[in-house]
Amino acid sequence: MRPSPHSPRRQRRRLYEATNPERRRRMVVPLSKDLRKRFHARSIPVRKGDTVRVLSGSYAGREERVARINRRDYTITLDNVTLKTTEEKLKPLPLRPAHIVITRLNLADPWRRRSLQVADTDVTPEERGEATEVVPEAAETPAPAADSPAEPKPSAGRAPKPATPDADGEEEEAP
């Protein structure tokens, strides 16, 4: 008996043997209701820089930015979504595309704007990825007090030089 073309074995095989464009199409993520109305699309492939909301698991409800996409394993890594290992180290927790929803798109790429049919005037600077934050001025470092002499710090590999008494009875450093 011949296996069906839709058998689980063949479906898994298609996942493993998929080309990069096929993997990109499989990594589509649904849009939030607001984005669906705005862009007239139900789901699109996720990209680095998109903001997503986690739907299931211990991080459900959190909105984080996409840090990395792994097409080989069909996983997405988010900022600040981590897993504690047995050695008490924090490791990024990979999520499946089915467990997230896109809430804010990264529209910095003109190709993506064209594919969504968005005019450049309709895109906010935040969606374009432009820095909208005001850079704070450099904080002034306090100057050392004039009455306390600045002592040179010893280097990491050497011991400080011992002080030797002078003819006047004052101590001065050895050369």
| 22 located within any domain | yes
102-114, pLDDT tens digit by residue? Answer: 999 999 988 999 9
Predicted confidence at residue 138, as pLDDT, reads: 55
| 87 located within any domain | yes
66-89, pLDDT tens digit by residue? Answer: 999 999 999 999 999 999 999 999
| 158 located within any domain | no
The stretch 148-155 carries a mean pLDDT of 54
87-100, pLDDT tens digit by residue? Answer: 999 999 999 999 99
115-143, pLDDT tens digit by residue? Answer: 899 888 888 888 887 765 555 565 555 55
Which letter does DSSP use for residue 169 in this model?
S
Contact 66, 76 (CB under 8 A): yes
| 128 located within any domain | no
pLDDT level of residue 1 (50, 70, 90 thresholds): low
Predicted confidence at residue 144, as pLDDT, reads: 54
Find all residues with CB under 8 Å of 128, minimum gap 6, and list them.
Answer: 107, 108
Predicted confidence at residue 121, as pLDDT, reads: 85
Predicted confidence at residue 4, as pLDDT, reads: 75
Contact 96, 76 (CB under 8 A): yes
The count of structural domains within the chain is 1
Domain of 43: which CATH number? Answer: 2.30.30.30
* Percent of the residues in the chain that have a pLDDT greater than 90, as a whole number: 58
Predicted confidence at residue 125, as pLDDT, reads: 85
| 20 located within any domain | yes
| 153 located within any domain | no
| 15 located within any domain | yes
CA 23 to chain centre: 21
44-68, pLDDT tens digit by residue? Answer: 999 999 999 999 999 999 999 999 9
| 24 located within any domain | yes
Domain assignment of residue 94, given as a range: 8-121
Question: Distance between CA atoms of 7 and 30, rounded to whole angstroms?
Answer: 26
The stretch 10-20 carries a mean pLDDT of 92
